[in-house]
């Protein structure tokens, strides 16, 4: 079964447009879990453009499914995650000025750094996942960091899916197979949507979790959060 973790960054984006608490990030997390979400993902960025550090503390007691915190592991992020102790931390090499995450790790170049950071999280009992481009050759280096899982960065898949779904998914299938061979779990995320999710889930072996935010929250503007979560869960029930 592939778990659906809903990324609620965009709820915070709308809230922050006016200050105040509307819409409420915590209420959204509670409702999403009631509606069937099997996890909540947040990506607190250093500029707090959406999710704030306070949000992460406020969410901790309310997330009874799986709490996944994503981010670039600079010291303040590491300390935040160690204080919260979520079920999973996903390490993403995003630049502070990037509009969104735009690349996976080069685990060959950053192996020593990742090994140290991952060892800290592991000592605290937090599962670790690292954001990776679909490149089977990078998987061995990812495994050598000590990570438990990889998260496949699916932006390229989402972009190519409409024109050529088979070609779009192929590098992801190969990367997931290599991860399976090396004993790493496989998550995926970025630009997954109601339109492209089912084909991805059908083709990726042992896909453990998808984290979806931008499209899901956008679709919920038309369909409502409950219908939208249910529609995503149906797309994941592919076997």
Ligand X SMILES: CC(=O)[C@@H](O)[C@H](O)COP(=O)(O)O
Ligand Y SMILES: NCC(=O)COP(=O)(O)O
Binding site for ligand X (CB under 6 A): 7, 9, 43, 70, 92, 100-101, 131, 189-190, 213
Of 70 and 209, nearer to ligand X (C-beta) is 70
Buried b (16+ CB within 10 A) or exposed e, 155-192: bbbbebbeeeeeebbebbbebbbbbeeeebbbbbbbbb
Binding flag, residue 189, ligand Y (CB under 6 A) = yes
String of contacts with ligand Y for each residue 111-150, x by CB under 6 A: ----------------------------------------
* Annotated binding residue 203: no
Q: Which of 2, 7, 38, 129 binds ligand Y (CB under 6 A)?
A: 7
Q: Closest Cα to residue 40, out of 217, 238, 194?
A: 217
Applying the rule CB under 6 A, the residues between 36 and 55 that interact with ligand Y are 41
Give the shortest CB-172-to-ligand X separation in angstroms: 14
Among ligand X, ligand Y, none, what binds residue 26 when CB lies within 5 to 8 Å by partner kind? none
Of 143 and 211, nearer to ligand X (C-beta) is 211
Instruction: Report how far residue 109's alpha carbon sits from residue 127's, in angstroms, rounded to the nearest whole number.
Output: 22
CB-CB contact of 56 with 6 (8 Å) = no
CB-CB contact of 183 with 143 (8 Å) = yes
Of 42 and 229, nearer to ligand X (C-beta) is 42
Give the shortest CB-239-to-ligand X separation in angstroms: 25
Taking CB atoms within 8 Å and a gap of at least 24, the contacts of 44-50 are 44/69, 44/71, 44/77, 44/80, 45/71, 45/94, 45/96, 46/72, 46/74, 46/76, 46/77, 46/96, 47/96, 49/13, 49/16, 50/9, 50/10, 50/12, 50/13, 50/16
Q: Which of 2, 33, 38, 211 binds ligand Y (CB under 6 A)?
A: 211
Which residues have a catalytic role annotated? 43, 70, 190
Of 149 and 190, nearer to ligand X (C-beta) is 190
By CB under 6 A, name the binding residues for ligand Y: 7, 41, 70, 151, 189-192, 211-215
């Amino acid at each position: 079964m592939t778990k659906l973790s809903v990324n609620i960054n965009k709820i915070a984006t709308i809230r922050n447009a006016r200050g105040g608490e509307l819409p409420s990030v915590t209420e959204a997390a509670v409702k999403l879990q009631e509606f069937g979400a099997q996890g909540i993902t947040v990506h607190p960025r250093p500029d707090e453009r959406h999710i704030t550090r306070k949000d992460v503390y406020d969410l901790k007691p309310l997330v009874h499914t799986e709490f996944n915190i994503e981010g670039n592991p600079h010291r303040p992020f590491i300390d935040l995650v160690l204080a919260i102790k979520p079920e999973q931390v996903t390490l993403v090499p995003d630049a502070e000025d990037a509009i969104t995450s735009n690349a996976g790790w080069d685990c060959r170049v950053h192996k020593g750094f990742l090994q140290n950071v991952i060892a800290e999280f592991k000592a605290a009992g937090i599962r670790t996942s690292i954001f990776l481009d679909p490149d089977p050759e990078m998987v061995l280096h990812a495994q050598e960091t000590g990570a438990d899982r990889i998260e496949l960065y699916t932006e390229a898949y989402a972009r190519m899916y409409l024109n050529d779904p088979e070609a779009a998914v192929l590098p992801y299938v190969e990367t997931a197979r290599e991860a399976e061979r090396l004993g790493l779990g496989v998550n995926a995320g970025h630009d997954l949507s109601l339109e492209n999710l089912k084909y991805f889930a059908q083709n990726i072996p042992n896909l453990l979790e998808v984290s979806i935010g931008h499209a899901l929250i956008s679709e919920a503007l038309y369909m409502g959060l409950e219908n939208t979560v249910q529609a995503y869960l149906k797309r994941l029930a592919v076997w």
